[in-house]
Amino acid sequence: MLDRLESLLDRFPVSARLLQGGQVGGHWVPAQAASQPLLHLLSQGGVELVDSDGSRLRIDQPSVLLYARPRDHRFNIDDGLQVPLVTAGLRFEAGEASPVADALPSPVCLPLADLLGSNAVLGVLFEEAFAQRCGRQAMLDRLFELVIIQVLRTLMENGQIQVGLLAGMGHPRLRHALVAMHEQPAEEWSLQALAERAGMSRSAFAEGFREVIGSTPGQYLQAWRTRLVQQALRRGQPLKRIAGDVGYGSEAALSRAFKAQTGQSPREWRSAAM
């Protein structure tokens, strides 16, 4: 059985790097907030998050806070408190084109107690963050990456996202069709074949897919192929090879589909992206 998260993260991985760990009090502003995605872990509550749009979120228990896209924000710590906080910078493969980043609301705030299977990981992470041991940076970077997987798993399993990729990945039937497209993008997927993967009738599958994912299966497959093409272009792969890998019969067919999706030819897009 294919793993729905593995099929996504194998192609578009997320990496993390520890930025800071320590006690914070008063008004604390993450210096990197406007320049990169961030993941914060707070081991206690007593914090108000203030977003750049002026919205405020009260955090009264140990929590994880994930900004999948760069965005200014600050923390107001209750008077007299010093809150242990650990922050990592994130790198999504493909940057803004990452389907993982694109699928996440920003910010995501979850109580640490809600993270599925996280107790052991979080215990080691907080212990390492406030100690000075050899290999600390490397260990914390890997532990943060485990936390990201646990956040994604929790959002899917608990149905906390109603529309989009993660909602579809959490759906008991639609997820089978999504994994099939992710794993075999070069396949000429028909509506009937995808419905069979999902164990649904054609009409129920088509309607359910639109409601949960927010697009038709054909539109989703085209968008997924485009993301794969962009990733391959960044890696310098030739168009002829890319065309075969993602299901186009020729470079010309790939270029037409890519331009219809992005408004640029593959070469124009690569020149602008590099």
pLDDT of residue 2: 54
pLDDT of residue 1: 43
pLDDT of residue 198: 96
- For the stretch 33-77, pLDDT in tens is 999 999 999 999 999 999 998 999 999 999 999 999 999 999 999
Q: What is the mean pLDDT of the chain?
A: 90
pLDDT of residue 97: 75
Most confident of the following: 118-132, 184-198, 246-260: 184-198
35 exposed, middle or buried (CB, 10 Å; 0-12, 13-18, 19+)? exposed
Statement: residue 158 has pLDDT above 90: no
Closest alpha carbon to 170 in 8, 4, 10, 1: 4
Of the chain, the percentage scoring pLDDT greater than 70 comes to 99
pLDDT of residue 185: 93
Stretch among 22-31, 83-92, 94-103, 178-187 having the lowest mean pLDDT: 94-103
Stretch among 110-114, 129-133, 140-144, 255-259 having the lowest mean pLDDT: 129-133
Please answer whether residues 90 and 32 qualify as being in contact, where contact means their C-beta atoms are separated by less than 8 angstroms: no
Of the chain, the percentage scoring pLDDT greater than 90 comes to 62
In this prediction, residues 240-268 reach a mean pLDDT of 91
Q: Is the pTM value of this prediction over 0.95?
A: no
Statement: residue 192 has pLDDT above 60: yes
- For the stretch 205-247, pLDDT in tens is 999 999 999 999 999 999 999 999 998 998 889 888 999 899 8
